[in-house]
């Protein structure tokens, strides 16, 4: 299977939005469209793909800012974990405004089929209670759970330092060393590199 990953840092906090494309079927998934909606729409249209899902790793505004516009423009279902949606619906600080627009709640072990890709959901609470990572083949999209050389902050509402460390150790560090890590901010890494060099682990 040939998979293409397009990374677009979007919005004020330059959160990485990923367009992950199955090149055979031209089906794709958009992860964490955080802002700059016109740029994202242009980039998606340029690839000439069908958006099958918009997947959110968590509910913070810098990862959800363009979600509603993309949902509308591409008529694609919008998905998030219910624990983060709960904080969104309460208007929690730093969480995006996507109330009443969720089509599916993501939970541990869910698999989204997009073209020939199986997108496996891993619930990794800590940065937020409903934080999730997405594993596709040899790539894991970690949102704000794990960064190159760092981890997500836990001082916002719903954050929990012990939980994020537990999530990373029990859910991500069990993956093989060569798995590529595509985080919510900054450059990519690998599980092996983070296992060796991440000061938080």
Summarize the confidence of residues 115-134 as an average pLDDT.
Answer: 98
| 48 pLDDT higher than 90 | yes
Q: Is the pLDDT of residue 1 over 80?
A: no
Tell me the per-residue pLDDT of 136-182, one tens digit each, with 9 for 90 and over.
999 999 999 999 999 999 999 999 999 999 999 999 999 999 999 99
User: What is the rounded CA–CA span in Å between residue 153 and residue 145?
Assistant: 8
Q: What is the mean pLDDT of the chain?
A: 97
CATH number, domain of 71, equals 3.60.15.10
Read off the pLDDT of residues 66-113 as tens digits, 9 standing for 90 and up.
999 999 999 999 999 999 999 999 999 999 999 899 999 999 999 999
pTM given for the model: 0.98
- The pLDDT assigned to 68 comes to 97
For residues 29-44, give the mean pLDDT. Answer: 97
Sheet with 104-105, edge to edge strand ranges: 3-10, 15-22, 27-31, 50-55, 78-80, 104-105
Give me the domain span that covers residue 53: 3-197
β-bridge partners, 3: 22
How many folded domains does the chain comprise? 1
């Amino acid at each position: 299977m040939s998979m293409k990953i397009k990374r677009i840092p979007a919005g004020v906090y330059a959160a990485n939005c990923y367009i992950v494309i199955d090149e055979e079927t031209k089906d794709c998934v958009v992860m964490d469209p955080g802002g700059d909606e016109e740029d994202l729409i242009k980039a998606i249209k340029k690839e000439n793909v069908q958006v099958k899902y918009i997947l959110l790793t968590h509910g913070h505004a810098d990862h959800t800012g363009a979600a509603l516009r993309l949902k509308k423009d591409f008529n694609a279902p919008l998905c998030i974990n219910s624990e983060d949606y709960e904080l969104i619906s309460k208007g929690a600080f730093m969480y995006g405004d996507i109330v009443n627009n969720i089509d599916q709640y993501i939970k541990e072990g869910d698999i989204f089929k997009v073209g020939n890709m199986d997108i496996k959901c891993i619930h990794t609470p800590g940065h937020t209670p409903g934080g999730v990572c997405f594993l596709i083949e040899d790539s894991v999209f970690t949102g704000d759970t794990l960064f190159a050389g760092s981890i997500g902050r836990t001082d916002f509402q719903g954050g929990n330092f012990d939980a994020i460390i537990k999530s990373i150790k029990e859910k991500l560090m069990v993956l093989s060393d060569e798995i590529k890590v595509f985080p919510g901010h900054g450059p990519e890494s690998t599980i092996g590199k983070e296992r060796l060099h991440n000061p938080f682990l």
